[in-house]
């Protein structure tokens, strides 16, 4: 495999839940957990620069294998010296496998035991992704954490399809692991593979898939296939069951789940890592996470609201500018409005995570989470 693997250590554990504070060390950065990873689908967090992310102490971000494979193409990124150089980003990067995007094109793909034929959403060109293809693309991207190529079934799939997804996920993860073991790093830094647990909302199938992933989970493991249309209660049942069974000495990553209240609940179950497009996508649509609750800045009530957007925000713009001004920027389609909203939403998530770490360290997280969820979990 590509060099030695990342290091993970637990710094403190909550006495009343499965929550913990930890530290991940890659060749590019030290990442304190729990951690929220902003999503830079195309190699950029929309409207923000690397310096913006550095100033918010962003230790790791996520990029999308599928989209970067199609455009600009991995050969171009390799010529630039990998994704870190291409983006001018010196901290850690996690890339997904491309599997979720490929499977979301359900009317444009064909799944076989060997891999997936799919049609590009950009130009209709045909492509074939195998576990080996996904690993080679991510190897050329040069991400610090590589996700295994998995089969993400839909929330309403049949039991037969669910079992097929688990079977192919096991086979494809083994192939990905073996492929990486035969490769050397391209850019002089190490890359670590995270296998992904599938199984829908079937607890037995999830635990079976977890057991199948353990031989490949040397330095981290992920929960995939949730927040894809299932109801919240069974989703959290699965997270809680897996939190009690996943390796304790490795970081645990819950893929694509990103509502603030969902993050709080999942940390109670022992999850360490999160990503989601929600804070950045919602920012572009005018939804702002503030310390007084979520607001839609486009609502007419903010037209003449001269109060600060969020006086408790760590973003200076939120303290200096009024809700009325931000609404005006959105109404006239000024990019500065999207930039303020994006900075605020990511900062809110980071502030939330920092508050959670403080509460875990003080063994007060359970009581704090009860108060937080009572206030915001609607």
In contact, 324 and 302? CB cutoff 8 Å: yes
**Beta carbons within 8 Å of 171's beta carbon, 6+ residues apart:** 113
What is the number of helices (H) and of strands (E) in the chain? 15, 17
Angle at 323 between CA 319 and CA 328, to 5 degrees: 125
Residues near 154 by Cβ (< 8 Å), separated by ≥ 6? Answer: 106, 228, 229
Q: Which of 278, 244, 259, 31 is nearest to 145 (CA)?
A: 31
- Catalytic site includes residue 117: no
Strands 60-63 and 287-290: unpaired
DSSP 205-267: HHHHHHHHHGGG-SS-EEE-S-SSS--HHHHHHHHHHHHTTS-TTS-EEETT---HHHHHHHH
Catalytically annotated residue among 14, 96, 150, 262: 96
Residue 187, SS3? Answer: coil
Whether residue 310 contacts residue 347, with contact meaning beta carbons closer than 8 Å, is answered with no
Distance CA 190, CA 139 (A): 10
CA-closest candidate to residue 271, choices 323, 227, 216: 227
Q: Is 144 a catalytic site residue? A: no
Instruction: Please give the Cα distance from 137 to 130 (Å, whole number).
Output: 11
d(CA 21, CA 9): 9
Which of 262, 272, 275, 310 does the annotation list as catalytic? 275
CA distance 2 to 14: 34
CB 226 within 8 A of CB 253: no
Q: How buried is residue 298: exposed, middle or buried, by Cβ count under 10 Å (0-12/13-18/19+)?
A: middle
Phi–psi pair at 303, nearest 5 degrees: -60, -40
Catalytic residues: 96, 275
């Amino acid at each position: 495999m590509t060099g030695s693997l990342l290091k993970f250590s637990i710094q403190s554990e909550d006495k009343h839940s499965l929550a913990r504070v930890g530290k991940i060390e890659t060749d590019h950065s030290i990442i304190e957990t729990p951690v929220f990873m902003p999503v830079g689908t195309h190699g950029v967090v929309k409207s923000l620069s690397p310096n913006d992310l550095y100033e918010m102490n962003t230790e790791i971000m996520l990029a999308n294998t599928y989209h970067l494979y199609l455009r600009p193409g991995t050969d171009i990124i390799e010529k630039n010296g990998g994704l870190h150089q291409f983006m001018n980003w010196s901290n850690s990067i996690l890339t997904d496998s491309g599997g979720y995007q490929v499977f979301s094109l359900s009317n444009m793909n064909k799944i076989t035991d060997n891999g997936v034929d799919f049609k590009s959403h950009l130009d209709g060109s045909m492509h074939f992704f195998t576990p080996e293809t996904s690993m080679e693309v991510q190897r050329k991207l040069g991400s610090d954490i590589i996700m295994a190529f998995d089969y993400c079934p839909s929330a309403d799939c049949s039991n037969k399809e669910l079992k097929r997804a688990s079977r192919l996920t096991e086979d494809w993860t083994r192939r990905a692991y073996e492929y990486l073991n035969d490769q050397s790093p391209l850019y002089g830094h190490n890359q670590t593979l995270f296998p992904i647990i599938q199984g829908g909302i079937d607890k037995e199938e999830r635990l079976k898939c977890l057991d199948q992933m353990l031989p490949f989970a040397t330095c981290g493991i992920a929960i995939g296939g949730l927040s894809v249309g299932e109801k919240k209660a069974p989703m959290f049942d699965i997270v809680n069951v897996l939190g009690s069974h996943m390796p304790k000495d490795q970081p645990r990553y819950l893929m694509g789940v990103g509502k603030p209240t969902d993050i709080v609940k999942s940390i109670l179950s022992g999850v360490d890592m999160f990503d989601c497009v929600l804070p950045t996508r919602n920012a572009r649509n005018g939804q702002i996470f503030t310390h007084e609750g979520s607001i839609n800045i486009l609502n007419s009530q903010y037209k003449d609201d001269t109060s600060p957007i969020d006086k408790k925000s760590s973003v200076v713009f939120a303290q200096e500018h009024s809700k009325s001004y931000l609404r005006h920027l959105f109404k006239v389609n000024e990019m500065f409005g999207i930039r303020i909203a994006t900075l605020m939403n990511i900062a809110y998530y980071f502030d939330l995570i920092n508050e959670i770490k403080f509460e875990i360290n003080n063994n007060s997280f359970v009581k704090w989470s009860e108060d937080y969820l009572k206030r915001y979990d609607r």
